Amino acid sequence: MIPAFLLWYVQDIVQVLFEGWGFAPDLFLFYLLFRCSKVAEDETTWIWVAFLGGLVWDFRWSGLFGLNAGMYGGLLALVSVFWKRIPFTGRSHWVFMGFVAGSHGVLTLVRIIFLGVPSKEVTFAFIVQLITAVPIILVLGFAFASRGEKRNVL
């Protein structure tokens, strides 16, 4: 769990550095998705970790408490359900990257719906967030392909 909390902190530092012109990609959520798809462990624990990390993120950055907490936990649970339904042979790095990219897209869309886009600057900040997430997703896909176990379930 220590790497998850460290990545939450790195995400927080990146958000501080991006303040004013962009939003940080959700490194914490990416790691939890990677961890759960790579190692067969108790998914309920990771869903609670995702919820608590999102709650702390809401207290730190968001004015809408519970939005990121619910989305982090809900997306991890939803990906868990779909990941288990994929046959072992179909659990490739492409499918994993699709789940991570889809989760990030849904999270960004929900943030736009609930928080609104009042200006061009906020729109630009969301675009920066999506663009900076792409290389991270590619690196996670490579890591999953080289070290991930297709037989493990979320």
- pLDDT digit string, tens, across residues 86-103: 888 888 999 999 999 999
**Tell me, what's the pLDDT at 18?**
85
- The tens digit of pLDDT for each residue in 131-152 reads 999 999 999 999 998 875 555 5
Mean pLDDT for the stretch of residues 41-45: 80
37: its two tokens: 């798809």
Mean pLDDT taken over the chain: 86
Rounded CA gap, 119 and 35, in Å?
Answer: 36
pLDDT of residue 115 exceeding 70 = yes
pLDDT of residue 51 exceeding 90 = yes
- The tens digit of pLDDT for each residue in 102-112 reads 999 999 888 88
Structural contact between residues 119 and 141, judged by C-beta atoms closer than 8 angstroms: no
- Pick the more confident residue, 41 or 53: 53
Query: Angle, nearest 10°, between helix axes 43-60 and 27-38?
Result: 180
Say what the pTM is: 0.86
Give CA torsion, residues 32, 143, 79, 18, to 10 deg: 60
Mean pLDDT for the stretch of residues 23-41: 86
**b/e burial code for range 52-74 (CB count within 10 A of at least 16 → b):** bbbbbbbeeebeeeebbbbbbbb
